[in-house]
Chains A and B, each alone.
Chain A
Amino acid sequence: MHPLYTAVFEPGFFASPQVHIAAVLGGVVAIVSAVTGVFTVMRGQSFGGHALSDVSAAGGSAALLIGLSPVAGFVGLGIAGAAVMDMIGVRRLRGRDLATGIVLGTAIGLTALFLYLTTTSGATTGAVQQILFGSIFTTSSGTIPAVAILGVVALGSIATVGRPLLLSTVSPDIAAARGVPVRLVGLIYMLALAVSVGLSSLAVGAVLSTALLIGPAAAALRLTRRVASAIGIACLIGVIATGLGVLLAYDSYYWGSSHLGLPVSFFIVAVIFVTYLASGLPAAWARARNREAAAPPLTPPRTARSQHERRGPGGERGSTA
């Protein structure tokens, strides 16, 4: 084989069943997360998206404790958490922040309890790490059907409410005036988000769940204004980052002599993070050119830029802060 080829793909990469599972799972999760994520980023609910991964981890630890199927635990508590968030005020920007925080705080407390009870009652080494970080390489192939079905459920419900969801995301007032049940659409979206996050934290862990949900979508929305192309680009970024991460993690086993591989989540997150930073470059370049063209600016450039940024594309309605 070509030396360059073996340098990139270390021996056994394509034959390893672990790699197959990781690639399939990672690919499914990346696509579902990217589609959901575009709406999450546009609606400014990244905090909710992240919090739900911790909430479903609490469900995972509960399932571990009472011997339930982890899928039921992760997705079940995630849905319950999303419903509670919606109930106590996920709709207003400020109240949403707080509601998410309260649900998250409670879930963390429950996780502490369940993990404590699990670790004292039986020998489950690695439970803490598994729940907090997760790993694609340790997921069994038995979870693939469940993950795929849930992914279809999440994507299906988002597709069903697609247009009204988009309208109520960009402008809740116009949507309400047009007769869109904004509240209901928001709730359906939250439940779809819960399913998507629940399955991704089960399959790839809480860290990657948030990374795949927010990173590709945020990068895509910085590159294009059109939602359809943003979804496409986000899926592409998610899948490429996952594949690259799996490859690098596999290769890292052969780096150095210690044969201590680095975790796959580290590589995937690093690729996504770099992609997000790079996605700001076109806009920065355009700004720099504009500044040259429009010599002496009337207002101080910093305020002018940040004003523009706040009203930018993709429903950039300012942050919760």
Chain B
Amino acid sequence: MFAAGFMMNAWTTATIVAVVAGVVGYFVVLRGSAFPAHAIPKGAFAGAAGASLLGINTLIGLGVFSLLGALGIGSLGRRGRHDVVTALALVMMLALGAAFLSRTTEYEPEIYSLLFGEILGVNTSEILPIALMGLACIAAIAVIYRPLMLSSIVPEVAEARGVRGYRIEICFLVVVALATTMTVPVVGALLIFSLMIGPPAAARSLTSRPVLAMILSVVIALVTAWVAIAASYLYNWPVGFFVGALGALSYGIGRGWAAWRRTRARPAPRLASAAEGA
């Protein structure tokens, strides 16, 4: 499992992807941006289809489309409702993808791997760009850390302190777009989402301290990715299935743990705990 070269590549890229997903995902969950975090990678898939139509590098297509998606969601979301414009931006990008695909004679497994990932097929030459983009994501989060945290938790206070919510939103969406571009070829357009939601959500229900939660989120994401690869290697089922299942499982465990701790901490009247759970 560790000897073959392609497996080493898989372990390395999965580690990078999991760290980025853990950190970026923490803010996705904190800000309640699960929908953009789903829409940008899925829409970016259309960019990959366009790139294969034009015969250029897939990464360029992914990058352009995820950036367009992020800016479109950010700027349209100023006027209209956020979830509405996210949905519309997503379907517009997917419709373009359908148009591109109707023009290519792309082999079906390639589409499948773009959507669901092909982590076992990562080349050694692809690791460096992925690592650089991952570093850029982490660096960007570190730079905007304080305003981002403030505007995620208490948007009104952040606004009063002179943090432009709109600018932070755009910056954050661009980081999501960057994370998308690097991860889609590896884990696929659909599964980066699972990795950005499940582990951070679990971490947040385990602790409320931000830095600790972020570290936990990275750890859970790493375990999820590693176990998924190992299981996929052993059972020959798609990596994506294991990532999705483990993400949901870790969230369930986190929720269960939080509920157990609550009932233990204060055996409050039933009404109060019922309201808490609602």
Which residues of A come within 8 Å of B, CB atoms? 41, 44-47, 49-51, 88-89, 91-94, 97-98, 100-102, 104-113, 115-116, 119, 125-126, 128-129, 132-133, 207-208, 210-211, 213-215, 218, 222, 260-263, 265-266, 268-270, 272-273, 276, 280, 306, 309, 316, 319-321
Contacts and interface: CB of A to CB of B under 8 A. Distances in A.
Nearest to B228: A109
Contact of A207 (B32, B80, B95, B241): B95
Contacts of A270: 92, 95
B32 A263 contact: no
Contacts of A89: 278
Given A112-B241, A129-B108, A319 B83 contact: yes
A88 to B, nearest CB: 8
A110 B237 CA distance: 11
Contact of A210 (B37, B87, B251): B87
B91 interface: yes
- Nearest first, the 9 closest Cβ-Cβ pairs linking A and B are A109-B244, A319-B82, A105-B194, A112-B240, A269-B95, A101-B34, A46-B83, A113-B241, A47-B35
Contact of B115 (A46, A106, A119, A132): A132
Contacts of B86: 46-47
A273 B169 contact: no
A35 B277 CA distance: 31
A50 B238 contact: no
B48 to A, nearest CB: 13
Interface in B43-84: 77-84
Nearest to A88: B255
Given A102-B248, A102-B251, A214-B84, A109 B241 contact: yes
A260 B100 CA distance: 11
Given A101-B34, A218-B81, A321-B169, A108 B194 contact: yes
B268 interface: no
A161 to B, nearest CB: 20
Given A112-B191, A112-B241, A218 B108 contact: no
B216 interface: no
B96 interface: yes
A129 B197 contact: no
A47 B95 contact: no
B98 A263 contact: yes
Nearest to A205: B98
A162 B130 CA distance: 51
B108 A108 contact: no
Interface of B: 29, 31-38, 77-84, 86-88, 90-92, 94-96, 98-99, 101-103, 108-109, 111-112, 115-116, 169, 188, 190-191, 193-194, 197-198, 201, 237-238, 240-245, 247-248, 251, 255, 278
A92 B278 contact: yes
Given A91-B278, A108-B244, A321 B33 contact: yes
Nearest to B255: A88
Nearest to A50: B87
A218 B108 CA distance: 35
B85 to A, nearest CB: 8
17 contacts: A45-B83, A46-B35, A46-B87, A100-B34, A108-B194, A110-B241, A112-B116, A116-B112, A116-B238, A128-B111, A208-B91, A214-B84, A214-B87, A265-B98, A266-B96, A316-B81, A321-B32
Main SS at interface, chain A: helix
Contacts of A316: 81
A17 B36 CA distance: 39
Given A128-B112, A262-B102, A106 B77 contact: no
Contacts of B190: 108, 111-112
Contacts of B84: 41, 46, 214, 218
Contacts of A321: 31-33, 36, 77, 82, 169
A44 B81 contact: yes
A49 B90 CA distance: 13
Contact of A273 (B32, B92, B242): B92
Contacts of B38: 47, 50-51, 101, 104
B206 to A, nearest CB: 14
Contact of A129 (B78, B101, B194): B101
Contacts of B198: 102, 105
Nearest to B109: A119
A33 to B, nearest CB: 12
Nearest to B34: A101
**Most chain A CB neighbours (cut-off 10 Å) among B84, B101, B197, B248:** B84
Contacts of A107: 244
